[in-house]
Chains A and B, each alone.
Chain A
């Protein structure tokens, strides 16, 4: 069957599945809408968390990022998984025990202040909105590239799909669709990886294949060969190439870890399990399902780079441009690959030297997107990649949209503006807000602000410097006072924004970056994307100092902290179990 027809069938079959689930999992109460009724099995919640967490960036871009950064790409692998250790031990069980619906609600309770709750809502909305733009773009790109549908139309279809199951089912619908989406995306990711590992190393398990010898070259390991090929063409050695200084890698990893633990759409998922015990194990299951992709990604990255190098720079000498393989021609048409015959010899010179390099564009997303073609896999595998990329983008978008809409309907409208709203009214309000959020996200995806590219990193920086420290201090210290919590959040987010803006431009407007995006101007060589951890430290210090001035939190708050530190009586704060 023709590839395009096949892709349509696979993609629309997956959409039909999501709609079916949405109808089955309609939400009837606010508890179902915000936390799926609080009765999701920990393994299933782990699976939904994995889909919630793994975005278009994880699915499409990460392996390519690692392929071109080599060892330096480790910051993403460790940063985006290590955060779950923090989440499991420092936050999830206690937030579940407290038993409320949203992250700002917890912060408002712990810091006994509506102002704290509003500050948390603002931090949440900035972080989630910047993140959702990337997902909407991912949906549009997946449609336009695989189905040759116009970008705007593809985005519209994606919006309708998310709208149906998010508005109908709220957290309940989103949870069960995310479980289905996880299955689709992990299958789509693993199948090509297994085939490529088999072709290159004879071992079907990519994690082991990456540490194995090459097929046909029994005396050399794949990674050693890759190092050798890359250094021969002037690139940095794959297994030792650093990302900036060691301190920068350290700060980058730490920022991604605490940012991961502080992202509200992920934390929120742990409100849906029945008990504190389940919250602890569910974080482990989430990490199992995430690790299924994250331990395969480095193999995909290295093997795809190997394939690229051996295709373009075979041992016999540079490849004739006219002899280039079919996948090369396909991706040239999309503009993701670009060749320019600088010395006019009709051959492809691919080197690290900007002067002589003739592969003027090698988009890193190609490493995942073109992988099945490079490995000459059957058409149904290519069709799967499209469905997998869409599943990754849609599942994350839905989680983010729920975080945004629940913080508006539950925290701002019900919590601050009109506390007397009935449950039915709140459910209606949350559906209206969800609809508006989908429209806003779609509009932003269609007209991405100039700063969209750099903002996913900003979302992590904001979560790391504001939400994570506020939650952690609130649990592990009984003293931190209301004023101190608010001052800490504002100081953390303030210094992070200041640092990012001074290097990337105020609101990312070009030309307003008064220090320029240059390495010599970085504070101790720390790149703006890695600055969240510094913001978090500032947050901790400010909160501690202010508590010294204002005096500790009152007794009833200390009692509340004592209460959520022990599992007994979970659910008491909310409804009966």
Chain B
């Protein structure tokens, strides 16, 4: 394993992580808090949409993100041949 390969792996990891954290921020702090009044003008069944993001939706997206990150990292591990 060359150190160049390892640093490319690290950059790819950081890019993936930042992408996931942007989504993490948007659903919770964005949809659940900052934009809640705007989103509350829309309905999801009996839920106001902003309220739904704050109490339900953000948690589902967090779940998806953690598994997505784990899945993509496993691919990156193999691609850069740094897996255990």
Number of interface residues of B (CB under 8 A): 44
- A interface: dominant SS: helix
Cβ–Cβ < 8 Å partners of B3 in chain A: 562
For B83, the chain A residues whose CB sits under 8 A away are 277, 567-568
Collect the chain B residues with CB atoms within 8 Å of residue A77's CB. Answer: 54-55, 58-59
In the complex, what residue of chain B is closest to A283 when comparing beta carbons?
B66
Alpha-carbon distance between A562 and B13 when the two chains are bound, in angstroms:
13
Contacts of A66 in B (CB 8 A): 55
0/1 interface trace, chain A 166-194, chain B, CB 8 Å (1 if under): 00000000000000000000000000000
Range, interface on chain A: 35 or more
Chain B residues closer than 8 Å to A249, beta-carbon distance: 33
User: Given that A221-B45, A565-B6 are known contacts, is A294 also in contact with B52, CB under 8 Å in the complex?
Assistant: no
Contact B47 A210 (CB under 8 A): yes
Contacts of B28 in A (CB 8 A): 78, 82, 253
A565 touches B10 (CB 8 A): yes
**Is there contact, CB below 8 Å, between A88 and B69?**
yes
The interface stretch among A135-143, A284-292, A460-468, A483-491 is A284-292
Is there contact, CB below 8 Å, between A284 and B66?
A: yes
- Docked pose: A77 CA to B52 CA in angstroms: 12
Residues 256-291 of chain A, each 1 if its beta carbon lies under 8 Å from chain B, else 0:
000000000000000000011100110110011001
Q: Are B69 and A81 in contact (CB under 8 A)?
A: no
Distance in angstroms between the alpha carbons of A216 and B20 in the assembled complex: 43
Known A-B contacts A88-B69, A221-B45, A568-B1; A291 and B33 likewise in contact (beta carbons under 8 Å) = no
Interface contact A78-B84, CB-CB below 8 Å: no
CB-nearest residue of chain A to B73: A280
Partner of B20, one of A73, A85, A240: A85
Known pairs A89-B20, A568-B84; A284 contacts B77 (CB<8 A): no
- Distance in angstroms from A318 CB to nearest chain B CB is 27
The answer on a CB contact under 8 Å between B70 and A281 is yes
Chain B residues, Cβ within 8 Å of A93: 73
State A287–B59 Cα separation when bound (angstroms).
9
The contact string, 1 if C-beta is below 8 Å from chain B, for chain A 526-563, is 00000000000000000000000000000000000010
User: Which chain A residue lies CB-closest to B45?
Assistant: A211
Q: Which residues of A contact B29 (CB under 8 A)?
A: 250, 253-254
Residues on B with beta carbons closer than 8 Å to the beta carbon of A224: 46
Q: How far does the alpha carbon of A73 sit from the alpha carbon of B51 in the complex, in Å?
A: 11
Binary interface profile of B, 9-53, with partner A (CB < 8 Å = 1, else 0)? 110010001001100100011001110110010001111100110
- A36 an interface residue at 8 Å Cβ cutoff? no
Contact indicator A207/B56 (Cβ below 8 Å): yes
User: What's the nearest-Cβ distance from chain B to residue A319, in Å?
Assistant: 27
Question: With A211-B45, A223-B48, A253-B28 given, can you name 6 additional A-B contacts, CB distance below 8 Å?
Answer: A77-B58, A82-B28, A82-B62, A85-B62, A210-B46, A280-B69
Q: 19 interchain pairs (CB within 8 A)?
A: A71-B36, A74-B55, A77-B54, A77-B58, A81-B59, A84-B66, A89-B20, A223-B48, A239-B48, A240-B37, A253-B28, A277-B74, A277-B77, A287-B62, A294-B59, A565-B10, A567-B77, A567-B83, A568-B1
